[in-house]
Amino acid sequence: MEGAGTGVRVVLVDDHTLFRNGLKGLIDGVRGCVVTGVFSDGEDFVAALPELEADVVFMDISMPHMNGDEATVKALQHNPDLKVICLSMFGDENYYSRMVDAGAKGFLLKDSDIDEVFAAIDAVMSGGSYFCAALLDSISSVLHSGHSDIPENLSEREADVLLGICRGLSNQEIADSLFISKRTVDAHRANILEKTGCKNTASLVVYAMKHRLVEI
């Protein structure tokens, strides 16, 4: 099996016809992926769930009749194994928390390269989460002055590690940048997840944005 993207059943939910059909053409039949459903709004998608075969759903945030977060909640209630990847544009960041709370595992900008589309599929099908490079690159490289806005339950060092996570750095890269051991970073990361109640990188990024530790 050539990566988690092979043989994946994909559904597209987006109210822009040209974008929806273009993405379908790029995904369908590539690396064994097959597009099993295309919908223009969340309501039609949810209605079709009982008959729909899907592993991954690319979900637009803002749609008529039913937005992406509500559709995601209903979809995961029907099938908890679905992997939802949020399709967004710059300016949609206020909705990210709602999408993570709803259960989204990945975040892609609508102008992302097709390689990132498959990278997102691979990541979520492997049990992980995915933030596209453009979103990670756009995160401010500076924490607020003096770490004054760090939530009370996080230490200054944990905030440094969290910022590295938000930049998309590996634990080893974070360790190198902070001149500490990878084992120490592993411990900090575990503590951060426990203290914040987050489950994955995507939810940590949203947590950091909500608490104004980083900005997009």
CATH number at residue 193: 1.10.10.10
43, 96: one domain: yes
Would you state the pLDDT for residue 145? 39
Task: Please state, in angstroms and rounded to a whole number, the distance separating the CA atoms of residues 136 and 216.
Answer: 8
Query: Is position 148 within any domain?
Result: yes
Alpha-carbon separation of residue 205 from 38, 164, 166, 167 (angstroms) = 29, 10, 5, 9
Taking the C-alpha atoms of residue 207 and residue 189, their distance in angstroms, rounded to an integer, is 14
Burial class (CB in 10 A: 0-12, 13-18, 19+), 211: middle
Identify the H or E element spanning 175: helix 171-178
Q: How many whole angstroms separate alpha carbon 123 and alpha carbon 136? A: 15
What per-residue confidence (pLDDT) applies to 156? 86
Contact 198, 192 (CB under 8 A): yes
- Those residues of the chain that have pLDDT short of 50 are 1-3, 140-148
Neighbouring C-beta atoms of residue 4, cutoff 10 Å: 21
Do 128 and 205 belong to one domain?
Answer: no
Last residue of a domain, one of 73, 108, 134: 134
pLDDT at 128: 80
Taking the mean position of all CA atoms in its chain, how far away is CA 144?
24
At residue 197, the pLDDT reads 86
| Domain boundary residue, one of 134, 160, 186 | 134
48 vs 43: CA distance, rounded Å: 9
Is 136 in contact with 168 (CB distance < 8 Å)?
yes
- Mark which of 87, 106, 134 sits at the end of a domain: 134
40 and 92 part of one domain: yes
135 in Cβ contact with 145 (< 8 Å): no
pLDDT value of position 72: 96
Amino acid of residue 75: A
* pLDDT of res. 215: 60
- In which domain, by residue range, is 35 found? 9-134
- Residue 145 in any domain: the answer is yes
Q: Read off the tokens for 48.
A: 């079709």
Task: Please give the Cα distance from 34 to 37 (Å, whole number).
Answer: 9
- pLDDT given at position 143: 40
pTM above the 0.85 mark? no
Q: Which residues pair with 109 in a beta bridge?
A: 88
Number of structural domains found in the chain: 2
Within a domain: 1 = no
